[in-house]
Chains A and B, each alone.
Chain A
Amino acid sequence: SQTIHQWPATLVQPVGSPLSLECTVEGTSNPNLYWYRQAAGRGLQLLFYSVGIGQISSEVPQNLSASRPQDRQFILSSKKLLLSDSGFYLCAWRVAGGSREQFFGPGTRLTVL
Chain B
Amino acid sequence: QKEVEQNSGPLSVPEGAIASLNCTYSDRGSQSFFWYRQYSGKSPELIMFIYSNGDKEDGRFTAQLNKASQYVSLLIRDSQPSDSATYLCAVNPSGTYKYIFGTGTRLKVLA
Contact = CB atoms under 8 A, between A and B. Distances in A.
Interface of B: 32, 34, 36, 41-46, 49, 51, 88, 90, 92, 97-104
Interface stretch (A70-78, A79-87, A97-105): A97-105
A109 B42 CA distance: 10
A104 B34 CA distance: 13
Interface of A: 32, 34, 42-44, 46, 49, 51, 57, 59, 88, 90, 100-107, 109
B43 A43 contact: no
Given A104-B43, A105-B43, A43 B104 contact: yes
A106 B104 CA distance: 18
B46 A43 contact: no
Contacts of A90: 43-44
Given A100-B49, A101-B34, A59 B104 contact: no
Q: Is chain A's binding surface mostly helix, strand, loop or mixed?
A: strand
B92 A100 contact: yes
A32 B101 contact: no
Given A100-B32, A100-B92, A101-B34, A46 B45 contact: no
A7 to B, nearest CB: 13
Contacts of A106: 42-43
A31 to B, nearest CB: 11
Given A100-B51, A109-B41, 10 more contacts: A42-B103, A43-B102, A88-B43, A100-B92, A101-B46, A102-B92, A103-B46, A104-B43, A104-B45, A107-B42
Given A32-B97, A43-B88, A46-B98, A102 B103 contact: no
Contacts of B102: 43
A49 B96 CA distance: 11
A51 B44 contact: no
